[in-house]
Amino acid sequence: MFRHEGWVCTWCNRPVMFAPVMKFLEREVRKSGRGERLSYYHAHWARAGAPLLDELGAVIDHVEAHSARGPSTEGNLATACAKCNGRKSAAPMAKWHERPQRKPIKGKYGEPQHWDGLSCVFVILAQRDPGGLTSSEKEWLKVLSGDQVIAEPSSHSLSYAVRYRRKRETIEL
């Protein structure tokens, strides 16, 4: 899902990041013997404990909210940053557009070409220290390490549909 959309928020166009990588980065620093407290990772992505995740943690968002019977099929799912996801919550699309939005980013010199949400760092650190992985992290590792053999990003038609929709919305806003 994230890979399809180039790890960019569908709504505000900000780069998003794969949250567990921050946990592993924090662990790496700890392992090196440094004792200072770090606000890299917090289980609830709270600003106080993890400001980067509070802003840019990657979330899979339901375009039509799950609670409004929006399906969990790929066509109804979109990559979102934590802030847009929090703002949108369960609002139906029509209502959500009336809410104050995070101003979408526009790249003056083009869009990110190879941003991966730091997922590659996650794969490297998780493979190095697989003992501490939660079951969902193991699943992610399986999926994300599969990326290594894919030389080109998937050209699944959905990615084009979503990008197209995102562009259109950016213009409308």
Q: Does 11 bind Zn ion (CB under 5 A)?
A: yes
Q: Which helix (H) or strand (E) holds 96?
A: helix 93-96
Quick check: 12 binds Zn ion (CB under 5 A)?
yes
The least CB distance from residue 54 to Zn ion, in Å, is 12
CB of 105 to Zn ion, least distance (A): 9
Residue 19 makes contact with Zn ion by CB under 5 A: no
Q: What is each CA distance from 159 to 124, 152, 156, 163, in whole angstroms?
A: 26, 13, 6, 6
Of 3, 5, 9, 59, which one interacts with Zn ion (CB under 5 A)? 9
Residue 14 CB, nearest approach to Zn ion (Å): 5
> Please, are residues 162 and 10 in contact by the beta-carbon 8 Å criterion?
yes
Which residue, 78 or 84, has its beta carbon nearer to Zn ion?
84
Contact between 8 and Zn ion per CB under 5 A: no
Cα distance between residue 114 and residue 127, in whole Å? 22
- At residue 110, φ and ψ (nearest 5 deg) are 100, 165
Centre a 10 Å sphere on the Cβ of residue 18 and count the other Cβ atoms it contains: 21
Q: Which residues within the stretch 67-106 sit at the binding site for Zn ion (CB under 5 A)?
A: 81, 84
Which residues of this protein are in contact with Zn ion, per CB under 5 A? 9, 11-12, 81, 84
